[in-house]
Amino acid sequence: MLDATRLRTPCLFDKIVSADEAATLITDGMNVGVSGFTPSGYPKKTTLALAKAIKAGKKCRINIWSGASVGPEIEETLAEVGGISGRMPYYAASNKTLSRQINTGSVTYIDQHLSHFAQQIDYGFYGDVDVAIVEAAAINADGSIVLGSGVGNTPMLVKHAKKIIVEVNTSIPLTLEGMHDIYICSKPPERTEIPIYHVGDRIGSPYVSCGLDRITCIVESDIVDHVRNLSAPDDTSKKIAANLVDFLEHEQRHGRLPQQMLPLQSGVGSIANAVLMGLAESKFEHLTMYSEILQDSVFKRLSKQMTLLRQI
Amino acid sequence: MLDATRLRTPCLFDKIVSADEAATLITDGMNVGVSGFTPSGYPKKTTLALAKAIKAGKKCRINIWSGASVGPEIEETLAEVGGISGRMPYYAASNKTLSRQINTGSVTYIDQHLSHFAQQIDYGFYGDVDVAIVEAAAINADGSIVLGSGVGNTPMLVKHAKKIIVEVNTSIPLTLEGMHDIYICSKPPERTEIPIYHVGDRIGSPYVSCGLDRITCIVESDIVDHVRNLSAPDDTSKKIAANLVDFLEHEQRHGRLPQQMLPLQSGVGSIANAVLMGLAESKFEHLTMYSEILQDSVFKRLSKQMTLLRQI
pLDDT tops 90 at residue A296? no
B263/A189 touch (CB, cutoff 8 Å), yes or no: yes
* Of residues A192, A193, A262, nearest to B189 (C-beta): A262
Q: Tell me the pLDDT band of B183, cut-offs 50, 70 and 90.
A: very high
**B249-281 confidence digits (pLDDT tens):** 999 999 989 888 888 888 877 888 888 888 888
| Of the candidate ranges A140-154, A272-286, B19-33, B166-180, the one whose mean pLDDT is the lowest | A272-286
Taking residues A172-196, what's their average pLDDT?
Answer: 91
Separation in Å, CA of A295 to nearest CA in chain B: 26
- Give CA–CA dist A71/A39, Å, rounded: 5
A89-137 pLDDT per residue, tens? 999 888 999 999 999 999 999 999 999 999 999 999 999 999 999 999 9
Average pLDDT, chain A: 92
Residue B214: predicted pLDDT? 98
> Which stretch of A20-29, A43-52, B170-179, B264-273 has the lowest confidence by average pLDDT?
B264-273
B192: which chain A residues are within 8 Å (Cβ-Cβ)?
197
What's the rounded Cα separation, in Å, for the pair B225 and B80? 20
Tell me, what's the pLDDT at A189? 83
By annotation, the residues of B acting in catalysis are 292
Best of A197, A198, A256 to substitute, by most chain B Cβ atoms within 10 angstroms, is: A197
Task: Kindly report, residue by residue over B184-223, the tens digit of the pLDDT.
Answer: 999 888 888 999 988 889 999 999 999 999 999 999 999 9
Confidence grade of residue B27 (pLDDT, cut at 50, 70, 90): very high
Choose the closest CB to B192 out of A192, A197, A263.
A197
pLDDT tens-place string over residues A61-87: 999 999 999 999 999 999 999 999 999
HEC-encoded secondary structure of chain A: CCCCCCECCHHHHHHECCHHHHHCCCCCCCEEEECCCCCCCCCCHHHHHHHHHHHCCCCCCEEEECCCCCCCCCHHHHHHCCCEEEEECCCCCCCHHHHHHHHCCCCEECCCCHHHHHHHHHHCCCCCCCEEEEEECEECCCCCEECCCCCCCHHHHHHHCCEEEEEEECCCCHHHCCCCCECCCCCCCCCCCCCCCCCCCCCCECCECCCHHHEEEEEEECCCCCCCCCCCCCHHHHHHHHHHHHHHHHHHHCCCCCCCCCCEEECCCHHHHHHHHHHHCCCCCCEEEEECCCCHHHHHCCCCCEEEEEEC
Mutate to test the interface with B, among A187, A190, A193 (most CBs of B within 10 A): A193
Q: Is the pLDDT of residue A308 over 80?
A: no
Q: Hey, which residues does A145 pair with through a beta bridge?
A: A139, A208
Q: Which residues of B touch A192 (CB under 8 A)?
A: 197
How far apart CA A206 and CA A174 sit, in angstroms, is: 13
**Contact call for A193 and B193, based on CB within 8 A:** yes
Residue B84: partners with Cβ closer than 8 Å, 6 or more residues away: B61, B62, B63, B64, B75, B78, B98, B101, B107
Task: Using an 8 Å CB-CB cutoff, list residues of chain B that contact chain A.
Answer: 189, 192-193, 197, 262-263
Chain B positions touching A263 (Cβ under 8 A) are: 189
* ipTM (interface predicted TM): 0.71
Find the range with the poorest average confidence among A104-108, A113-117, A185-189, B9-13: A185-189
pLDDT number for residue A293: 80
Average pLDDT of the segment spanning A18-34? 98
Residue A190's pLDDT is what? 86
Note the pLDDT of residue A307: 61
Residues in A closer than 8 angstroms to B263, CB to CB, are 189
Q: Which residue of B has its CA nearest to A257?
A: B189
pLDDT above 90 covers what percent of chain B? Answer: 71
Share of chain B above pLDDT 70, in %: 96
Q: Residue B307: what pLDDT? A: 61
Mean pLDDT of B220-239: 88
List of chain B residues whose C-beta atoms are within 8 Å of the C-beta of residue A185: none
User: pLDDT by residue (tens digit) across B106-129?
Assistant: 999 999 999 999 999 999 999 999
The β-bridge partners of A33 are A65, A132
Q: Residue B68's pLDDT band (boundaries 50, 70, 90)?
A: very high
Q: Give the best residue of B193, B260, B262 to mutate against chain A (max A CB count within 10 A).
A: B193
Q: For residue A199, what is the nearest residue in chain B, using CA coordinates?
A: B189
Residue of B nearest to A264 (CA): B189
Cβ contact (<8 Å) for B193 and A189? Answer: no
Write the DSSP assignment of B70-86 as a string of letters: --TTTHHHHHHTT-EEE
Is A67:A116 a contact under the CB 8 Å cutoff? no
